[in-house]
């Protein structure tokens, strides 16, 4: 290489601009090229999470997840805070399924049939210690008891807060709990201090803030869907 | 070219495993080592991803090292690392979705891992591509080794499991043994890394 002055202002500006342009086009290109594939993965993942909240957890194969979802979920409705049904969602993956933000005027609800019994799946969103957490809670037809629950997170601490996404160590205990008892919502308390097992779950040592986030998320979610749950 | 595996190249690869270990000797990348070692599995995943990224960012930086203006070299290094990590995470999201979900926490940690910048600045900027690649692989594995040791100890004594499987038998618990809750706390990672550094350095002193 000849004598190129790599420290002149002109070179530095040109180099930086060139580098940024190359990287920008590269990233945008890769993103666009891979978008259909990753979108499909996200959709299947959402289906699998809803199935997990219904205690259907042992399916790993993508096609089997899609088939099982079509079999179990009868409709994805959109309701509002007064429990009026805004959209029926008989197609299963159009109305409520496409809703990512839950708001008072747009609350997704999944109506499912497991072993001949009707279950309702309520999606929830909340805040953990580091970032968003979310979950799906399935409710029995009487709308009083939890049938199953699934939680996940974006960036909780590995090995501590991240345990909320594990079935054996955390999610298992939600099945059978009351949604609400004597005016208190289902909650997660410090590990080993459960006083009322009907409506309290054990937390995770070292992940107090994440568990508080789960409690707050459940309370918020149940509050929002209370018109539907009391109907 | 004095052969792909000349003495210098071998040293570039082997030194970071022990004598010049990024965590124990260079004391780089401590923050992520504290964050992901509560269990063995995240420690393994993190070790593997850092190895891949150090190797390829060293290679890229070494290839373009003569064109990089020295006054903005840190920015250039960071851009290359961030672009690589982002591409890897997008590819994983499309083809290995489950791995990408697991990695989501670590992507940010990989970009900010000081081992990357440290090795790019100290080695790749002044060496040709192949030794730089080896140096990246070596440092990644050296980092992974310490993470695996700390992760295994913390999971074994903190939860009685390894990779999620029960290792300490039930009868031991019935005899009065209890998991050490302290092991799960981040402070214990710091103490354990201190012990690893202590053990590693005193062993090396003896062998000299």
Which pLDDT value is given to residue B207?
64
- CB count in 10 Å sphere of residue B121: 15
Which pLDDT value is given to residue A214?
95
Least confident of A89-103, B47-61, B116-130: A89-103
Q: Which residues pair with A187 in a beta bridge?
A: A200
E-assigned strand segments in chain B = 161-162, 165-166
Option in A34, A41, A206 nearest B91 (CB): A34
Judge: B38–A37 Cβ closer than 8 Å, yes or no: no
Banded pLDDT at A208 (limits 50, 70, 90)? very high
Give one word for B157, left, alpha or beta, with left for phi > 0 and alpha for psi -120 to 50. alpha
Q: What angle do CA A212, A153, A98 make, to 5 degrees?
A: 115
Which pLDDT value is given to residue A149?
94
| Domain extent for A49 | 45-229
Least confident of A181-195, B96-110, B163-177: B96-110
Quote the percentage of chain B above a pLDDT of 70. 95
Residue to substitute from A159, A160, A165, interface B, most B β-carbons within 10 A: A159
Q: What would the pLDDT profile of A98-128 be if each residue is shown by its tens digit?
A: 888 888 889 999 999 998 899 999 999 999 9
Q: What would the pLDDT profile of A150-163 be if each residue is shown by its tens digit?
A: 999 987 887 788 89
Q: Which residue of B has its CA nearest to A12?
A: B69
Number of domains chain A contains: 1
Helix (H, G, I), strand (E, B) or coil at A58: coil
Banded pLDDT at B1 (limits 50, 70, 90)? very low
Which pLDDT value is given to residue B103?
67
Is A156 among the domain residues? yes
Task: Enumerate chain A positions whose Cβ falls within 8 A of a Cβ in B.
Answer: 1, 4, 6-7, 11-12, 15-16, 19-20, 23, 26-27, 30-31, 34, 37-38, 41, 44-45, 154-160, 162, 205-206
Is A26 among the domain residues? no
- The domain limits of chain B are 22-207
**Is-contact A151 A135, C-beta < 8 A?**
yes
What is the phi/psi pair of residue A220, to 5°?
A: -60, -45
How deeply is A147 buried, as exposed, middle or buried, from its count of CB atoms within 10 A (0-12, 13-18, 19+)?
buried
- For residue B184, the chain A residues in CB contact (below 8 A) are 159-160, 205-206
Is A122 among the domain residues? yes
Query: What is the pLDDT of chain A when averaged over all its residues?
Result: 89
Q: What would the pLDDT profile of A20-42 be if each residue is shown by its tens digit?
A: 999 999 999 999 999 999 899 98
Is A36 among the domain residues? no
Which pLDDT value is given to residue B168?
83
pTM of the complete model: 0.72
Q: What would the pLDDT profile of B71-84 be if each residue is shown by its tens digit?
A: 898 999 999 999 98
Structure-token pair, residue A164: 């909320």
Helix (H, G, I), strand (E, B) or coil at A137: strand
Q: What would the pLDDT profile of B148-182 be if each residue is shown by its tens digit?
A: 999 899 888 888 888 878 888 888 888 888 888 78
Judge: B39–A23 Cβ closer than 8 Å, yes or no: no
pLDDT of A139 strictly over 70: yes
- CB count in 10 Å sphere of residue A116: 5
Q: Which residues pair with A146 in a beta bridge?
A: A139
């Amino acid at each position: 290489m000849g004598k190129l002055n790599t420290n002149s202002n002109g070179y530095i500006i040109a180099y930086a601009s060139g580098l940024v342009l190359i990287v920008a086009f590269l990233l945008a290109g890769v993103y666009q090229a891979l978008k259909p594939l990753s979108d499909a993965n996200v959709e299947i993942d959402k289906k699998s999470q809803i199935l997990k909240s219904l205690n259907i957890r042992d399916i790993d194969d993508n096609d089997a997840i899609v088939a099982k979802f079509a079999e179990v979920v009868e409709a994805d409705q959109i309701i509002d805070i007064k429990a009026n049904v805004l959209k029926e969602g008989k197609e299963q993956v159009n109305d409520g399924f496409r809703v990512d933000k839950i708001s008072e005027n747009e609350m997704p609800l999944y109506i499912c049939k497991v072993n001949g019994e009707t279950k309702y799946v309520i999606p929830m969103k909340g805040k953990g210690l580091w970032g968003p957490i979310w979950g799906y809670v399935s409710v029995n037809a009487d709308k009083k008891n939890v049938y199953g629950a699934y939680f996940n997170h974006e960036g909780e601490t590995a090995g501590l807060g991240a345990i909320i996404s594990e079935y054996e160590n955390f999610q298992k205990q939600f099945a059978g709990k009351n949604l609400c008892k004597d005016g208190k919502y289902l909650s997660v308390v410090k590990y080993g201090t459960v006083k009322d097992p009907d409506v309290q779950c054990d937390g995770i040592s070292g992940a107090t803030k994440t568990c508080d986030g789960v409690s707050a998320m459940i309370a918020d979610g149940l509050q929002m869907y209370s018109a539907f749950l009391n109907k | 070219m004095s052969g792909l595996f000349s003495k210098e190249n071998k040293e570039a690869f082997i030194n970071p495993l022990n004598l010049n270990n990024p965590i124990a000797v260079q004391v780089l990348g401590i923050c992520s080592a504290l964050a992901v070692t509560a269990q063995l599995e995240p420690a393994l995943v993190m070790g593997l991803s850092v190895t891949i990224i150090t190797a390829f960012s060293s290679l890229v930086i070494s290839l373009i090292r003569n064109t990089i203006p020295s006054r903005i070299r840190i920015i250039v290094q960071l851009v290359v690392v961030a672009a690589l990590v982002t591409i890897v995470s997008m590819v994983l999201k499309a083809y290995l979705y489950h791995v990408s979900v697991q990695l989501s926490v670590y992507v940010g940690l990989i970009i900010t891992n000081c081992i990357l910048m440290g090795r790019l600045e100290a080695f790749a900027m002044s060496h040709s591509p192949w030794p730089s690649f080896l140096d990246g692989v070596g440092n990644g594995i050296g980092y992974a080794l310490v993470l695996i040791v700390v992760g295994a100890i913390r999971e074994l004594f903190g939860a009685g499991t390894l990779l999620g499987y029960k290792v300490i038998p039930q009868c031991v618990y019935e005899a009065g043994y209890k998991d050490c809750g302290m092991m799960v706390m981040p402070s214990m990672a710091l103490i354990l890394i201190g012990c690893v550094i202590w053990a590693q350095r005193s062993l090396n002193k003896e062998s000299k």
